Structure 1
Amino acid sequence: MQWLITGCSSGLGLYLARRILSAGHKCIATSRNPGTTPDYVAEIERLGGIWLPLDVSSNNLEKAIQAITENYGFIDVLVNNAGFGDGGPLETYSLEAGRAMMETNFFGPLRLMKALIPSMRERKQGVIVNVSSAAFWAPHAGVGVYSASKFALEGLSESLSTELAPFGIRVIIAEPGEMRTKFVQADKVSHLTIPEAYKGTPAEAVLNFITQRDGRQDIDPARVAEAIVQHVAHPPNSDLTLRLPLGTESLTFLTARAENLSKLVDASASFAKSCDFPKDE
């Protein structure tokens, strides 16, 4: 299988490229500016992979993907991994920053899928892996726009999973919790200032917690990469086909959400049904 991964300059993308190649697959690793990580580029190429520049928010993304497929052939597995996160109370969060995040975290994956689905459909095979987040199960205060970008990606992925199933195309949503990577670094979010009104609120507590855990996160990105590659190459015969919780943190959030949804069903059943037309009308 030939894989195409976005966002390989660090973190999960880099671990995925390594694991894919060690498993004997072909890998096209991409990043916005390969020149900033020459050692990683050399490593992946030494292992037999290809590393190409690709900016998922650029105006020429579709042309770049067309050139890649023309030069290197069909893509069997697309991994939409490129993304970034920051935070702050919504009232002080700039619309420019929000649009930039949606362009990278949501519209980039959307455009890549739109570009590659036709060839997968024609060949009746393909796998799309969209890297979401445990934030889907627990959208905390202070990271609303980031959570919204992942909710959008999850909704699109769930719809596509049934839309594309008749053509033999699988969609997988990977949902890792906080991994021990450089995704969040205290020095990179030092510009985030909490307004006085939000001091002592959940928004401040969440942002402090996230930045203070840098380098001490519980989830191993190498093990996450292994789980994703195994899930793609050897799909399980179980209900674990669309969403892939990765790490105890993600599982904990999922469990709490499931319990809350069960309570909601019980509490709202009669009220919800009261909005229907009577059955005899």
Structure 2
Amino acid sequence: MKTVLITGTSKGIGLETALAFGRADYKVFATMRNPENATAFKQKIKDESLDIIISKMDVDSDASVHQCIDAILHEHSSIDVLVNNAGIERHGSVEELKMEDFKATMETNYFGVVRCIHSVLPEMRKNQKGCIINVASVAGHISSSPLGAYSASKFALEAVSEALAQEVKPFNIRVAIVEPGIINTQMANDIAVDDKSIYPHSKRFAGLFSASLQTPTSPTLVADKILEIAESMSWKLRHPVGPDAQPFLDWRKSMNDEKWVDWNAANDDDWYEVVENTFGLNARQDEQIIKL
């Protein structure tokens, strides 16, 4: 039986990924900070008779990561697939966002991944096989206010994943980066709420996310892609996921840096008009409320 360790499985993409692997007959080690709060998840595991073990692990802590993964490897000898999904989001302008928010985002989204890789990779290298899947984001290629801190962490994750792929391919270890667009998760719904910044970008992006979530994309789509990657023999590095992921990436590529900055610095009317003409989304929140 193949084994998979997945981080951040308390909700959203991580939870659905754990269920997808469990239904595909993997032995799943589903990790999270607070297993005591996973009552519904535990009931789902019981109802479907899935081979999923929930373990306590905080990716922000060296000791927690080492303790959890060492215990798993001691009992089960190997982890075939590592899915680094745990992540947090803090949004706000560079001026207004607190320093601790910048640090927290990088700690979980970047250093947390590196911690897990450090703990799992030696055994994979010894066994000459394995698959490491890092859940990044379209925001790992596109930096827009008010997601500067979040994008910074995902840009970093993309970079270290690309370097890792070069290092471990000779050991038959595959690395893949999953890049979701706007997915119906708590994180996306949090961004969809305007936090009343002194800059207009927060309200604009809240409207963009809110408009997108009116036709929501389920996190199961991302979970299915992660399972597909694990099951495949593909060495493809990057995998955009969701109906808007590749269009967002193509849109950014269509502009040079100066045009991108100019568009994001434009007045509200021009910004909203471009979003509507390009993606068919009315990001004006006042008009969304009227329609509802």
Matches within 5 A, 1:1-281: 1-44=2-45, 46-60=49-63, 61-186=65-190, 192-195=195-198, 198=199, 201-210=200-209, 212-213=210-211, 215-216=213-214, 218-236=216-234, 241-260=236-255
Does the Cα contact within 8 Å between 1:29 and 1:52 map onto a contact in 2?
Answer: yes
State the shift of 1:232 in Å: 1.5
Secondary structure of 1:92's counterpart equals coil
Unaligned 5+ segments in structure 2 are 260-292
* Mean Cα deviation higher: 181-190 or 244-253: 181-190
In 2, the alpha carbon distance for the partners of 1:136 and 1:16 equals: 21
Deviation of the 1:254 alpha carbon: 2.1
1: CA distance, partners of 2:56 / 2:100: 24
SS of the counterpart of 1:74? coil
What amino acid sits opposite 1:206 in the alignment?
F
Aligned-partner Cα distance in 2 for 1:59–1:123: 24
**What is the TM-score with the length of structure 1 in the denominator?**
0.83
CA shift at 1:183, angstroms? 2.3
Name the CA distance, whole Å, in 2 between partners of 1:155 and 1:17: 26
- CA–CA separation in structure 2 for the residues paired with 1:178 and 1:188: 11
Helix, strand or coil for the counterpart of 1:91?
coil
- TM-score when scaled to structure 2? 0.80
Name the CA shift for 1:251/1:215 in 2 (closer, same or farther; >3 Å): closer
For 1:116 and 1:158, locate their aligned partners in 2 and report how far apart those are by CA, in whole Å.
17
Q: Cα distance 1:202–1:114, how it changes in 2: closer, same or farther (>3 A)?
A: same
Identify which of structures 1 and 2 has the higher relative contact order when contacts are C-alpha pairs closer than 8 Å and 6+ apart. 1
How many Å separate the matches in 1 of 2:174 and 2:196? 42
Which string of whole-angstrom CA distances, capped at 9 and with x for unpartnered residues, describes residues 22-66 of structure 1? Answer: 111211111110111212023235312111111111241222221
The 1-side partners of 2:55 and 2:192 are apart by 26
2: CA distance between counterparts of 1:73 and 1:20? 19
1-structure distance, mates of 2:229, 2:253: 23
Higher deviation after alignment, 245-254 or 3-12: 245-254
Shift of 1:188: 10
Runs of 4 or more above 6 Å deviation:
187-190
In the other structure, the counterpart of 2:278 is: none
8 A Cα contact 2:192 2:205, kept in partner: no
> What code does the residue aligned with 2:56 have?
P
Q: In 2, are the aligned partners of 1:180 and 1:216 still within 8 Å (CA)?
A: no
The whole-number CA distance in structure 2 between the counterparts of 1:72 and 1:44 is: 20
Task: Tell me if the contact between 1:88 and 1:207 (Cα under 8 Å) persists in the aligned partners.
Answer: no
Structure 2 CA distance for partners of 1:117 and 1:59, relative to 1, 3 Å? closer
Partner of 2:287: none
Q: Is the 8 A contact 2:221 2:242 kept in 1?
A: no
Partners of 1:252 and 1:32 lie apart in 2 by: 34
Cα distance between partner residues in 2 of 1:230 and 1:115: 24
Identity of aligned residues (%): 36
Runs of 5+ unmatched residues, structure 1: 265-281
The Cα RMSD (Å) is 2.4
**CA distance in 1 between partners of 2:33 and 2:193 (Å):** 20
Q: 1:171 to 1:217 in 2, by over 3 A?
A: farther
Give deviations 1:143-169, integer Å, cap 9, x for gaps.
Answer: 100000000000000011111111111
Tell me, in whole angstroms, the C-alpha distance in 1 between the residues paired with 2:79 and 2:44: 22
Q: Which amino acid aligns with 1:22?
A: R
- Equivalences, count: 255
Matched residue SS, 1:174: strand
Matches of 1:151 and 1:125 in 2, distance apart?
A: 27
SS in 1 for 2:186: coil
CA distance in 1, matches of 2:237, 2:191: 35
